[in-house]
Structure 1
Amino acid sequence: MAKVLHDRQKEILKTIVELYLKNDKPVSSDEVLENSNIKASSATIRNDMQKLQKLGYIYQQHSSGGRIPTDSALKIYFQMIKDAYNQEDTHIDIPKKYKFYDLNLMFQSLSELISNTLEGLVIFEYPNPKYVYITRVTVTPLMETNNVITILTNLGLAVSRTVEIYGLPPSKELENILNNGLVGKSFHSLFMFLSAPKFETEDLRVTNFIEILGHLTSEFNRKKYIISGLEKIISQSIPDLEAIEALASMVENDTIKEGIFKLLDFTDDIEILFGEDLNSKALKKMVFFYTTYKLNADPLGRVLFITQKYCNYEKNYYFLREYISRLSEIISKNL
């Protein structure tokens, strides 16, 4: 539980964090005085720094050295940034041209933009199937023995699967059957239907219809995340091989990602966690920024951004908040 700090101690802590993030070296009491507007003596500053150290917000590598901020200090500093953002109403200027297109492309483009700008790993969680509704189904003959069935959704996500035509009605008739049975239904309702006990039937049409649903829902569920930027962390000047291995495993293994996302709340703002919060020694030098993108008031999915712990928190906060809120706005305006 965070201890209550008075205003001067907060300002000292803020100065220590900012100087350490800027210079990547321990901060002395003299540097705090030189780089802040604090009206106090050097002895008072040193006394407050000793209190901050006892509370676990800063530490010394050597008894005669300067101080380094801990994870707890970084969390307080990040909250200061959030509070200042809400008070000052400072926003990044982004052109407000709304053009709806495939949500897959939006995710991919935005994840690459965030990764390139903020230099880290981005993981977009696919939309909650409860809010993905089918708007149209098309059946297109591909070859003599195959059709391509495509489901279009309210979010602009398209799901396609090639199926054999054996045992199926002609393409136009099949398209009408699928539209009559599926339009207006959510993928969540399809998952529930397919997971329920099935009644026995010898009607090949019913059996084939259920099989088609299984193919299409498994295709929707096949890709749960869009990921960009592992190379950004790998290419940083002093790579941590243990961290890189842990992040590479996270990228490759959906089970690991699911375990992390289960720990993340659906939040209106940007929140942070550190590797030690996730009980990961390998990722102790990493910070996890996370937030939620929405369809109006409904939480569609979460966005996770991972980078080095000692980073530009202000830039990361402003950028993530503006772009993810803009994504939610685009989705909500165009549907």
Structure 2
Amino acid sequence: MVNADERRFEVLRAIVADYVSTNEPVGSKTLVEQHNLGVSSATVRNDMAVLEEEGLIAQPHTSAGRIPTDQGYRTFVDRLHEIKPLTSPERRAIHAFLEGALDLDDVMRRSVRLLAQLTQQVAVVQYPTLTQSTVRHVEVVTITPARLMLVLITDTGRVDQRMVDLGDVLGDEDVSRLRTVLNSAMVGKRLADASASVSELPEEAPPELREIMTKVCGVLIETLVEHPDERMVLGGTHNLTRNVADFPGSLRQVLEALEEQVVVLRLLAAARDSEGVTVRIGMENEAEEMQSTSVVSTGYGSHGTVLGGMGVVGPTRMDYPGTMAAVRAVASYVGEILAGR
């Protein structure tokens, strides 16, 4: 026999499902008619009164029905025993769409577009953090005899290009020597360690190359430092405008906050675990302008290393099981694709 606590949770689950679907307050009559709760209308009304007393549902002043509160959504999410899996066709479609990406930028763009389409929310994907990356290769390309292009490629597929004006002419043989020295010092190292190695190279360089090596290493060290303003891509902002009623008086500040990448990156900061999905609901979001939203996020990576975060931002009236499943699936495939590059 189902105990009272389990029965009331089933009532809460039904209210969440109906309200997410219809955006209308839910009454006891509707619950009895549309959900197989196995109890009378009187029992459902009593259960709703207890849920309201516990702060899990509330009664809008314009209706006799009830809607979930932030605390109600939290209780619902916390008692999801498992995230529903995507169907096989959905998984195949995700894999095929992401597998066709040409490079890291394309992976990020496709991921954010796919996540926005799957969830009908705003999608955010953080670029792989440089601190977690290692150097795969450094290429030195002669543009003119006195100008070089440095190309830094990481194991996550990130490519950074920088120009160096030498102030002197450098021959092909010296360019080759420079390339060999840089790769010997950097390849296979985390970027912080590579930066430390590069900083020592000018002192070790022969006198005739010391000044050029100093300029080259200075540019490389700048490249190895994190650039927060380059670290994320966002898509599907228009999805918020379809649900203006979910943001009474606050949609503008939500949109403005999304333009501030620092705010969004903080939202992803909790997503450092590639195994689980983090859900922050309403007032749980530290940024005041985001407290009318929910953020579902996770980390992505490979071989046990989390490279970045991704997630979606939407109203608290959200399909949490479906959104959590989509975020987890896309993150898993992005990790696999980056590991294979």
TM-score, normalised by the number of residues in structure 2:
0.83
Counterpart of 1:277 in structure 2 is 284
Deviation of the 1:64 alpha carbon: 6.7
Q: Distance in 2 between matches of 1:314 and 1:260?
A: 19
Cα drift, residue 205 of structure 1: 4.2
Q: Distance in 2 between matches of 1:313 and 1:155?
A: 30
**Offset of 1:194 from its aligned partner?**
7.9
Decide which of 175, 179, 188 is 1:175's aligned counterpart. Answer: 179
Change (3 A) 1:100 1:27: closer
The one of 205, 213, 217 equivalent to 1:210 is 217
Corresponding residue of 1:305: 312
CA contact (8 A) 1:56 1:70 kept: yes
Counterpart residue type for residue 146 of structure 1: R
2 CA distance for matches of 1:276 and 1:245?
Answer: 18
Q: Contact (CA 8 Å) 2:182, 2:198: kept in 1 or not?
A: no
State the shift of 1:154 in Å.
1.3
- Larger deviation, residues 216-225 vs 62-71: 216-225
- Secondary structure of the 1:137 match is strand
**Letter of the 1:177 counterpart:** V
Tell me how far apart the structure 2 counterparts of residues 241 and 176 of structure 1 sit (CA, whole Å): 60
How far has the Cα of 1:211 moved from its partner?
1.0
Distance 2:333 2:247 in 1: 33
Question: Percent sequence identity over matched residues?
Answer: 20
Partner of 1:133: 134
Q: Which residue of 2 aligns with 1:113?
A: 114
Contact 1:161 1:215 in 2 (8 A): no
Cα deviation code 1:272-314 (max 9, x no counterpart)? 1123112445333311111110112111111131012212223
AA aligned opposite 1:31: T
User: Cα–Cα, structure 1 residues 249 and 177, in superposed 2: closer, same or farther, change >3 Å?
Assistant: farther
Distance 2:161 2:17 in 1: 50
Equivalent AA in structure 2 for residue 318 of structure 1:
A
1:227 equivalent in structure 2 = 234
After superposing the two structures, state which structure 1 stretch, 109-118 or 123-132, moved more: 123-132
Change beyond 3 A, Cα 1:265–1:309: same
Q: For residue 94 of structure 1, what is the aligned residue in structure 2?
A: 92
Alpha-carbon offset, residue 240 of structure 1: 4.3
Equivalent residue runs for 1:137-148 within 5 Å: 137-148=138-149
Q: Hey, what's the Cα distance between the residues in 2 that align with 1:82 and 1:188?
A: 40
- In structure 1, runs of 5+ residues without a counterpart are none
Which residue does the alignment assign to 1:27? 26
What is the one-letter code of the residue matched to 1:93? R
Q: Give the Å deviation of 1:236.
A: 4.5
Question: Cα offset for 1:53?
Answer: 0.7
Read off the aligned partner of 1:19 and give its amino acid letter.
Answer: D
The two structures, once aligned, show a CA RMSD in angstroms of 3.3
The aligned residue for residue 329 of structure 1 is 336
Amino acid at match of 1:58: I
Q: Which amino acid aligns with 1:331?
A: L
Q: What is the SS of the residue equivalent to 2:48? A: helix
Residue 24 and residue 244 in structure 1: after superposition, are their counterparts in 2 closer, same or farther (change >3 A)? closer
The residue type equivalent to 1:127 in the other structure is P
One-letter amino acid matched to 1:189:
D
Deviations 1:144-185 (A, max 9, x none): 542211011211111111111325744333222221221112
Counterpart CA distance in 2 for 1:33 and 1:111 is 40
1:189 to 2:193 alignment: yes
Size of the aligned set, in residue pairs, is 328
Normalization by structure 1: what TM-score? 0.84
Kindly state the Cα deviation for residue 101 of structure 1 after the two structures are TM-superposed. 4.1
- Quickly say closer, same or farther: Cα 1:142–1:282, change in 2 above 3 A: same
Does residue 73 (structure 1) correspond to residue 72 (structure 2)? The answer is: yes
Q: What secondary structure sits across from 1:66 in the alignment?
A: coil
> Hey, what's the Cα distance between the residues in 2 that align with 1:38 and 1:239?
28
Structure 2 residue 320 is matched with structure 1 residue 320: no
